[in-house]
Amino acid sequence: MKNYLLIFLLIFYSIEISSQQQNVVQKIDTTKSKKKKKKGLPLESGRTININTTEGTWMSLDVSPDGNTIAFDLLGDIYTMPISGGKAKRFTSGMAYDSHPKFSPDGEDILFISDRTGGYNAWIKNIQSGDSLQVTKGNKNDMQSAEWANDGKYIVVAKGKRNLKLHLHHRDGGSGTELIKEPKSLKIVEPTFGEDDRYIWYAKRTNSWQYNANFPQYQLATYDRETGEIETQSSRYGSAFSPTLSPDGKWLVYGTRYNDQTGLIIRDLINENEKWLAYPVQRDDQESPAALGVLPAMSFTPDSQKLIASYGGKFYSLPINGDDAVNIPFAVNENYELGPLVKFNYPIEDVDKIKATQIRDIKASPDGSKVVFTAFDRLYLMNLSDSIPKRLTEFNMTEAMPAWNSDGTYVAFVTWDDKDGGSIYKVNTNGKPKPIKLTTGPGLYSEPTWNNSSKRIVFMKGAAQNFIDATGPSSFKSTNEICWIFANGGTLKVIEKSKGRSNPHFVKGNNRIYLYSTSKGLVSMRWDGTDEKEIIKVTGITTYNASKPSTADQIIMAPEGDQAIAHIHNEIYTFTVPKYGGETITIKLSNAEDAAFPAKKLTQIGGEFPSWSFDAKKVYWSLGNVFFTYDIDDATKFEEEHEEDEDEDEDDDEDDDDDEDDDDDEDEDDDEDEDEDEEIYEAKEIRISVFSKKDNVKGSVLLKNARIITMNGYEIFENGDILIQDNRILSVGETGSIEKSKKSKVIDLTGKTIVPGFIDTHAHMWPSWGMHKNQVWVYAANLAYGVTTTRDPQTATTDVLTYADMVDIGMIHGPRIYSTGPGVGYWAYNIKSLKQARKILKQYSEYYNTKTIKMYRTGNRKHRQWIIQAAREQELMPTTEGALDIKLNITQIIDGYPGHEHSFPIYPLYGDFTKLVAESKTAYTPTLLVAYGGPWAENYYYATENVNGDPKLNFFTPKSELDGLSRRRNAGWFMKEEHVFEDHGVFVKDLVEAGGIAGIGSHGQLQGLGYHWELWSVQSGGMKEHDALRVSSILGAEAIGLENDLGSIEKGKLADLVILGKNPLENIRNSNTVEMVMKDGRLYDASNLDEVYPKKKKAP
């Protein structure tokens, strides 16, 4: 399965072009607003849900100094109630997330953690007056909990950017101080004081968390406030965490794991004897970052005779003398605010041709009159004057990375054929397009570029076999050598090993070869590979919570002059390259206007495939299928014309600033003023529309005598028929009830079961990046196992846009390919305003056409709210990263995000949480094969299934891939009871029964069969088989906005079906008895993907 033939010998393309030839000037409101900025969280509530419950999920508590009151948190609000129980009284409310309440020593105030300013901080609220005081400042830290010192003046906080540390603050102000700085890998949570507040107790670990964790993870320690001495206070295999000290100084209670459950140990601090106080209690959260603590916070009563703790969704009073625990009843009946519903339906239209979503590697000719690019992995030339694009070759293989020679008569490009390997060609652009092959042997060729005289072509080369053998997005030594060849072909010459250098290019009047290295920056060398000179480095923005600025993905010198392009996180800059005789300098482009040498940020919404014009007066790039031209002279003229107005505006701004109050609560890095006068020169856009004929099914077929589980509610036809016309379901009903035409083909499926095509809502399928293969084994494997629709919620690159197009037109076998495109992630952005969020998301709504995005921990709460606001405006349905952070998860649900990826890290989850998720309509894809909070479920299946010997897996999966996954496992071995997927499955069951939305997401762990493992895992918590199948189909379709066309077997819907040999309602494992798969009306043999209907033909 490593090599595939092409599906079609000839594909007909029709192309049309629409363009906007004028410069676009973005007009922004020129009225300077003097109204006060909205403080804190920007998102307005759009919905309310009622939480009426007598049980709660992960409730941290504290007991008042007089012993009469309990304060606790529930779903981000704080409540108080009598210690004897009863109806809880709300203490905080609104969309801010408030947690970990702690009474002050005098009982007058409550200390808590809140994100009401946009980031997490410690706050104090007076119980009587309700007045609030912010103790800590800044919105960039994670913060787990805070605790009072006994004098009521000082507060200790666990906070930081990943590995939290101890910080001491005074309640009356100041920036505080970090108590333990080293080692950097040390993480500290759950700080607390005892009778003697000289000592701070806490739980510590190395690094933030560990997947498939080995034990122990945490131990207890103390910090001496007088000497700075640190002393470890435990050594338990099951870890030790959540230290809770009695007021009289005699007792310590802490949590530990014993076997596969968590309990509470009580230690006599006088003689250090220990015993169980309660076992089992709440499952701990030590196998994640423990955002809310490793256990919910507990508290002794003032007389030190009882511990008050929450577990099992309840509150309990635990006598330290060993008497039985006493339940403390409570009730909460309150409305919770949620962000507006963000839900859209995306119709799948029946069309005869598909427009290319992406153009790649676009380059302008030397005279600027033409462009060459690839679409559908085929080479095109477009004359900008007559707007008539055309194919440059008739090849039926991958064509990529075109490059013009200096007079514009030839274009060099590289090819790839899964059978014959890669080559370099050149093609004449003046009406004689017969390509000339330049290389004589197969290889993986990339990044061809002509030298200044156009007599030679320099390129990168790797071994063809390495690329053939590659199973993922990259291959071994794919750009191993820097080579050149004469422009008329011949024997290639190896210049030098690449050593991390790539992207060769030239500067006029200079015969050196320029390249880029991520470690060295822009470099140049001679043709024999000697005399390497390091020229310059650049950095971009420091992304949210990063400690260092971003490095460039690419630096390209201008063909002449002293300018260069920098491509950093999908933004494009130009900057001046000074001659500098000393050590290589680094130019900071985070604010291009303030760079050490003249620089400019060109992109407003991002860009890919940047290049220079031959005269260095323009910069080109593309985004989706749009070609951008940035004219440097026009931009300079525009800016000069507006410079005088800007100077006047600056004078006005100075006057306005004098009138504004300083706001310490505002994050200094955020700029929420969206009314600032601004006129921006923007690059010229040309939207290129390349169409390819779609290989549509024509004909009628009757699937007869099968059990049909329609997913139209709980409808089942025990003996039914489905009539399909072309690619749509025409009718479904009992056998014999449907009238067919005489031309209808009949397929008897007696004894078989038909279900809707499986939908994978979290399918990481990453084919090769940059250079594309002709067929994609990961796509084929999933289709063969019945997966007819996929959504990848983080693709890392935009290659998926082209691959999806090629699947749509029939060039590649595979399921329907939907994706978020590259994640809107913390590694790429530092969002300053709603305006910026809107621009970022435009990439996806107007250029990539993804219909969805992945909001991947992109900043603090305020930033995430800006993103959901922008997504709703642009009709995008974002999903989110779970990140093993239950606090993050709840805030994203409250804010109205319609998707959640990965399991919630804690369990069990009770009725309050189930109702929140169900009524929010956040679609939950738990990806239990990589479960949070315990060993990954895939490890269970690898230990219990014959994966390596499975014939079907061996047919569709490259051997190196299968061996690497199944012969030896780095994750280790786990006892059955250590696995947590069944416990997570309980929540999915509860969610679906409560009317919530869930999906099956295989996470790309084992392509094809992994989907069924995930389905079985989701069902393992007691879910009815029929409901599990609904999650795999109609609920999955609803999760990604496709339920009007997919997910059930109903009239008018697309004919995506799976034909099973056994009944999955009897045993969910019968989902893996796939015999045939129908996608878009075309029927395949699931054992090899040979086409069965409408034609009989072998798979490529």
Tens-digit pLDDT profile for residues 935-975:
999 999 999 999 999 999 999 999 999 999 999 998 889 99
- Residues 59 and 78: their CA atoms lie apart, in Å, by 10
**Across residues 1056-1066, what is the average pLDDT?**
99
- What does the pLDDT read at residue 531? 96
**Across residues 417-428, what is the average pLDDT?**
97
Closest CA to 397 of 371, 420, 363: 420
Inter-residue contact 1053 to 1046 (CB < 8 Å): yes
Local confidence band at 14 (pLDDT 50, 70, 90 cut-offs): very low
- What does the pLDDT read at residue 763? 99
Residue 605 confidence (pLDDT) above 90: yes
CA distances from 14 to 10, 11, 287, 372 (A): 13, 10, 55, 17
- What does the pLDDT read at residue 547? 87
Task: Identify the three-state secondary structure at position 795.
Answer: coil
- Residues 672 and 690: their CA atoms lie apart, in Å, by 40
**Across residues 379-398, what is the average pLDDT?**
93
- The torsion angle over the Cα atoms of residues 203, 206, 211 and 217, rounded to 10 degrees, is -40
- 264-303 pLDDT, tens digit per residue, is 999 999 999 999 999 999 999 999 999 999 999 999 999 9
Burial class (CB in 10 A: 0-12, 13-18, 19+), 737: exposed
Closest CA to 255 of 212, 311, 197: 311
745: left (phi over 0), alpha (psi -120 to 50) or beta: beta
- What does the pLDDT read at residue 675? 46
DSSP letter, residue 1072: G
- 467-501 pLDDT, tens digit per residue, is 999 999 999 999 999 999 999 999 999 999 999 99
- 884-908 pLDDT, tens digit per residue, is 999 999 999 999 999 999 999 999 9
CA 1061, chain centre distance (Å): 36
- 726-750 pLDDT, tens digit per residue, is 999 999 999 999 999 999 999 999 9
Residue 657 confidence (pLDDT) above 70: no
- Residues 670 and 862: their CA atoms lie apart, in Å, by 9
Residue 789 confidence (pLDDT) above 50: yes
- 82-116 pLDDT, tens digit per residue, is 999 999 999 999 999 999 999 999 999 999 999 99
Local confidence band at 317 (pLDDT 50, 70, 90 cut-offs): very high
Local confidence band at 22 (pLDDT 50, 70, 90 cut-offs): very low
CA distances from 478 to 297, 444, 463, 868 (A): 52, 7, 7, 39
CATH of 359-498, one of 3.40.50.620, 2.40.160.10, 3.40.50.150, 2.120.10.30: 2.120.10.30
Scored b (16 or more CB within 10 A) or e, 124-149 reads bbebeeeeeeebbbbbbbbbbbbbbb
Task: Identify the three-state secondary structure at position 413.
Answer: strand
Inter-residue contact 265 to 275 (CB < 8 Å): yes
Task: Identify the three-state secondary structure at position 684.
Answer: strand
Segments making up each domain of the chain, as ranges: 91-303, 359-498, 533-623+626-654+682-687, 700-819+882-1093
Q: Which residues, other chains included, contact 682 with Cβ-Cβ below 8 Å and sequence gap of 6+?
A: 23, 24, 25, 26, 604
- 970-992 pLDDT, tens digit per residue, is 888 999 999 999 999 999 999 99
Q: Percent of the chain beyond pLDDT 70? A: 93
- 502-552 pLDDT, tens digit per residue, is 999 999 999 999 999 999 999 999 999 999 999 999 999 999 888 899 999
Local confidence band at 798 (pLDDT 50, 70, 90 cut-offs): very high
Six-digit token pair at 89? 């009284």
Average pLDDT of the chain? 93
- What does the pLDDT read at residue 672? 54
Q: Percent of the chain beyond pLDDT 90? A: 89
What is 700-819+882-1093's CATH number? 3.20.20
Residue 668 confidence (pLDDT) above 60: no
**Across residues 1062-1079, what is the average pLDDT?**
99
- 829-848 pLDDT, tens digit per residue, is 999 999 999 999 999 999 99
**Across residues 146-154, what is the average pLDDT?**
97
**Across residues 1066-1075, what is the average pLDDT?**
99
- Residues 66 and 1000: their CA atoms lie apart, in Å, by 50
Residue 7 confidence (pLDDT) above 80: no
174-181, long-range: CB within 8 Å, 24+ apart, which pairs?
A: 175/137, 176/136, 179/223, 179/225, 179/228, 180/223, 180/230
What size, in residues, is the chain? 1100
Local confidence band at 328 (pLDDT 50, 70, 90 cut-offs): very high
**Across residues 361-367, what is the average pLDDT?**
98
Six-digit token pair at 925? 């894809």
**Across residues 1050-1066, what is the average pLDDT?**
99
Task: Identify the three-state secondary structure at position 337.
Answer: strand
Closest CA to 762 of 818, 689, 809: 818
Task: Identify the three-state secondary structure at position 993.
Answer: helix
DSSP letter, residue 1055: -
- 336-360 pLDDT, tens digit per residue, is 999 999 999 999 999 999 999 999 9
359-498 and 91-303 share a CATH fold:
yes
Q: Which residues, other chains included, contact 1081 with Cβ-Cβ below 8 Å and sequence gap of 6+?
A: 697, 701, 724, 726, 727, 728, 1054, 1055, 1094
Local confidence band at 433 (pLDDT 50, 70, 90 cut-offs): confident
The domain defined by 91-303 folds into Neuraminidase (2.120.10)
